[in-house]
Amino acid sequence: MTTVTKKDRVGVLLGGLSSEKGISMLSGDAVYRALAGLGYDVVKVEVDRDLPLKLRELRIEVAFNALHGRFGEDGCVQGVLEIMGIPYTGSGVSASATAMDKVLTKHILTSGGILTPPYRVVERAIGYDQLLREGGINLPYIVKPACEGSSIGIGRVSSPVEMKKAITHALKYDSRVLVEKFIEGMDVTVAVYDDRVLGSMEIRSDETFLDYDVKYTEGRETFFIPPPLEADIMASVEESALAAHRLLGCSFYSRMDFRVAPGGRPYMLEVNTLPGLTALSYVPKIAENKGMSYEALVEGILGSARLKLKDVPGRDLHQKGKVE
């Protein structure tokens, strides 16, 4: 693992080109303030298509990736950083690209014996009518873009009449849409930190499911740490979370979201390779419950920064000239 010192120029990557830019700005600003308060030489880097030029001009030596969504969480920026030889936080190119694709993620999780809700994939060329003809999963459905995060483009469908509207909306964000069986039960999220389970939390809301507005509006959710589950069920949830983290090749930290059905069966819904780090985000709340301050959480993540690809020898944080 790379050693990051307070003399190294740290760039907090925030903003970006995705529909989650606003959330990334909040995460990145919070990370920046924490690292600046700890005495690091840290600057904000607002990510756009000139990112390589900005990294060179600012002489960034290590990147704290606070991006969310496409071009930041999906392996694209990770690839740029690998090519430039700049160590970075979060998962590498392969794990990031895989976890961002909900369909591919489901294939991998299922192959590893991790339970996910039954689903179908709708493509723009096929349309919702074919899904209705195929059947195979019963109402209600959750409809969501295959490659988006923060519950963007998501909708709940309770009748065939609602199907077209929900799929049309989701197709605004992606050419593939995941139509998934809605699982009744408890919303549980698991934080993995230092490649181990840090803790778990139940999220409750008056809403049927946790959409974008619920997640990012203060006061819309209530949290229970740890979740009120029997010990064997909780162990099963956390074992599945850690197994998914390893199966996908995630690095250092991640967050796994579940629905625990009545009777205790845990269904994995989402894999987050760059969990939010805002004031309302779940991982900081779990860390705080474990006695870890926000500053300690962020500094630990920064300390995990490294290059993930092994094919170019001799690259490390203090290799001079890489951003000349």
Structure tokens at 250: 């995630």
Which position among 18, 150, 151, 304 bears the catalytic label? 150
pLDDT of 238: 98
What CA–CA distance (Å, rounded) separates 175 from 147? 9
Residue 84 belongs to a domain? yes
Do 65 and 54 reside in the same domain of the chain?
yes
Alpha-helical regions (H) of the chain: 21-37, 51-57, 76-84, 93-100, 102-111, 128-134, 160-170, 212-215, 231-247, 282-289, 294-303
Question: What are the two backbone dihedrals, phi and then psi, of residue 244, each rounded to the nearest 5 degrees?
Answer: -65, -45
Residue 283 belongs to a domain? no
CA of 173: how far to CAs of 28, 66, 93, 168, in Å?
23, 21, 22, 10
What CA–CA distance (Å, rounded) separates 125 from 175? 9
Which position among 20, 73, 74, 238 bears the catalytic label? 20
Active site residue 150: yes
What contacts 75, CB < 8 A, 6 or more positions away? 92, 93, 94, 96, 97, 100
Which position among 24, 276, 282, 306 bears the catalytic label? 276
String of b and e for 52-87 (b: at least 16 CB within 10 Å)? eebbeeeebbbbbbbbbbbbbbbbbbbebbbebbbb
Residue 75 belongs to a domain? yes
What CA–CA distance (Å, rounded) separates 185 from 258? 9
Gyration radius (Cα) of the chain, Å: 20
Which position among 24, 200, 236, 272 bears the catalytic label? 272
pLDDT of 124: 67
Do 162 and 198 reside in the same domain of the chain?
no
Which position among 40, 141, 173, 216 bears the catalytic label? 216
What CA–CA distance (Å, rounded) separates 162 from 174? 19
Do 30 and 85 reside in the same domain of the chain?
yes
pLDDT of 150: 52
Do 173 and 227 reside in the same domain of the chain?
no
Domain end residue (candidates: 136, 153, 181): 181
Q: What is the pTM of this model?
A: 0.87
**Enclosing domain of residue 139:** 118-181
- Residue listed under structure tokens 């690209």: 97
Do 189 and 164 reside in the same domain of the chain?
no
For the chain, the domain total comes to 3
What CA–CA distance (Å, rounded) separates 186 from 251? 27
Q: What is the CATH number of the domain that holds 124?
A: 3.30.1490.20
Which position among 174, 202, 238, 257 bears the catalytic label? 257
Domain end residue (candidates: 141, 156, 181): 181
Do 125 and 210 reside in the same domain of the chain?
no
Active site residue 193: no
Do 203 and 170 reside in the same domain of the chain?
no
Residue 78 belongs to a domain? yes
Active site residue 20: yes
Residue 280 belongs to a domain? no
Residue 286 belongs to a domain? no
- Inter-axis angle of helices 282-289 and 294-303, nearest 10: 110
Do 32 and 84 reside in the same domain of the chain?
yes
User: What does the angle CA 86 – CA 90 – CA 93 come to, to the nearest 5 degrees?
Assistant: 70
Active site residue 49: no
Do 201 and 237 reside in the same domain of the chain?
yes
Residue 225 belongs to a domain? yes
Residue 284 belongs to a domain? no
Active site residue 255: yes
Which position among 41, 162, 239, 270 bears the catalytic label? 270
The pLDDT tens digits along the chain (324 residues) read: 458 999 999 999 999 988 889 999 999 999 999 999 999 999 999 999 999 999 999 999 999 999 998 899 999 999 999 999 999 999 999 999 999 999 999 999 999 999 999 988 887 656 666 666 666 677 788 888 877 665 677 888 887 778 878 888 888 887 788 888 999 999 999 999 999 999 999 999 766 655 555 555 555 679 999 999 999 999 999 999 999 999 999 999 999 999 999 999 999 999 999 999 997 899 999 999 999 999 999 999 999 999 998 644 444 444 443 433
Which position among 255, 282, 304, 306 bears the catalytic label? 255
Q: What is the CATH number of the domain that holds 1?
A: 3.40.50.20
Do 67 and 1 reside in the same domain of the chain?
yes
Active site residue 272: yes
